[in-house]
Amino acid sequence: MNKPRIAVVGTPGKWSTEVLADRLEALTGFRAVVSMADVELRLDTQQLLYKDLDLTQLDGIVVKKISEQYAPAAEDRIRMLAFAEQKGVKVFSSTHSIGSLINRLSGTLALQAGAIPMPKTRITESPELAFATVREFGAAILKPLYSTKARGMIMLDQEKSDAEVRAALATYRESQSIYYIQQKANLDGRDLGMVFVGGEYLCTYARVGNKESWNTTIHSGGHYEVFDSNLDLIELGRRAQACYDLDFTTVDIALTDNGPVVFEVSAFGGFKGAWEGCGIDAAMVYAEHVLAQLGKRDTQPLSDVTRTTVND
Is domain 187-281 annotated with CATH 3.30.470.20? yes
**Rounded Cα–Cα distance for residues 80 and 63 (Å):** 12
Q: What is the pLDDT of residues 108-143, one digit of tens each?
A: 999 999 999 999 999 999 999 999 999 999 999 999
Third-level CATH fold of 121-183: Dna Ligase; domain 1 (3.30.1490)
Report, as an integer, the average pLDDT of 215-229: 72
Sign of CA dihedral 299, 301, 307, 311: positive
Residue 246 half-sphere exposure toward CB, CA atoms < 13 A: 29
Predicted confidence band at 212 (pLDDT cuts at 50, 70, 90)?
Answer: low
263: Cβ contacts below 8 Å, ≥ 6 apart: 118, 119, 191, 252, 253, 254
The whole-number average pLDDT for the span 167-179 is 93
Residue 168's nearest CA partner among 135, 122, 214 is 135
Domain ranges for the chain: 6-101+286-294, 121-183, 187-281
CA-CA distance, 75 to 94, in Å (whole number)?
13
Closest by CA position to 195, among listed 133, 99, 276: 276
Query: Per the omega criterion (within 30 degrees of 0), is the bond before 93 cis?
Result: yes
DSSP label at 145? S
H/E stretch holding 225 reads strand 223-226
* Among 126, 137, 7, 122, CA closest to 61: 7
Q: Position 152: which residue type?
A: G
* Rounded mean pLDDT, 250-269: 92
Pairing of strands 60-63, 6-9: parallel
Q: Is the pLDDT of residue 54 over 50?
A: yes
CA distance 295 to 289: 10
pTM above the 0.75 mark? yes
Residue 301's pLDDT band, with cuts at 50, 70 and 90, is very low
* Angstrom distance (rounded) from CA 31 to CA 118: 40
- Angstrom distance (rounded) from CA 231 to CA 204: 12
Alpha helices per DSSP H over the chain: 15-28, 72-86, 95-102, 104-113, 127-137, 162-175, 231-241, 272, 278, 282-294
Banded pLDDT at 12 (limits 50, 70, 90): very high
Which own/partner contact pairs does 230-236 have at CB distance under 8 Å and 24+ positions apart? 233/192, 233/194, 233/204, 233/260, 234/194, 234/201, 234/204, 236/116, 236/117, 236/260, 236/262
Distance CA 280, CA 269 (A): 14
Count how many residues are written for the chain. Answer: 312
Query: For residue range 177-203, what is the model confidence (pLDDT) as tens digits?
Result: 999 999 998 877 789 999 999 999 999
Kindly report the CATH class assigned to 6-101+286-294: alpha beta
Spatial neighbors of 169 by CB under 8 A, at least 6 apart, are 127, 130, 131, 134, 142, 179
